[in-house]
Structure 1
């Protein structure tokens, strides 16, 4: 069983303004990008399941020149709100690392 961490050189999450979170998933080479960039484990449905967001609002943007995928979705609450737990969204990527992608 291949995990996302096994086929990527870098995975990060960050704020994309006060209302959105974005993930940058950089694959280890063209072959891994072509094989996994459109896999079900990186689908809007999977992000909805993992992060409790509406799959209709998840944006999945492959960037072939960089061998990476950018995935963005609305934050559950605005950045800096009273229930904020990760203001810069820098730790949100961690649960993706062990996602099985085969």
Structure 2
């Protein structure tokens, strides 16, 4: 049996540009129970560990009415720079989507 991930509970987990120096991760949850799980799991410490960034650089927006948790953070490299491997920041959602949900919380 595989472990449940955040993506299993979500309508969508995605990443996108938030300007050339920032990216945003978004977890759109399908119901209130899923939102409560995402709200508890998506912490500055968890995101910092997943993305190897300083927790103090993160901005987390919780929107319970829409069942969305958004995280904005500095891009690892500026958009379009020589070492940018994801121009639109569309692949950065994967670590968050694969975040395991502790048993009994799903």
Q: Establish whether TM, by shorter chain, passes 0.5.
A: yes
> Following superposition of structure 1 onto structure 2, how do residues 51-66 of structure 1 map, counting pairs within 5 Å?
51-66=51-66
Q: CA deviation at 1:10?
A: 0.7
Cα RMSD (Å): 1.3
Shift of 1:48: 1.4
Deviation, 1:61, is: 0.7
- The answer for the alignment partner of 1:10 in structure 2 is 12
Contact 1:37 1:62 in 2 (8 A): no
Normalized per residue, the structure richer in helix is 1
Q: What is the CA deviation profile of residues 46-76 of structure 1, one whole-angstrom value per residue up to 9, with x for unaligned ones?
A: 2211212111011111111111111110112
Query: Deviation at 1:78?
Result: 1.1
TM-score between the two structures when normalised by the length of structure 2: 0.86
- Any runs of at least 4 consecutive aligned residues in structure 1 with deviations exceeding 6 A, and if so which? none
- Give the equivalent residue in structure 1 for 2:71: 71
Tell me the distance in 2 between the aligned counterparts of 1:88 and 1:2: 28
Structure 1 gap ranges (5+): none
Aligned to 1:32: 34
TM-score (norm 1): 0.89
Does 2:48 correspond to 1:84? no
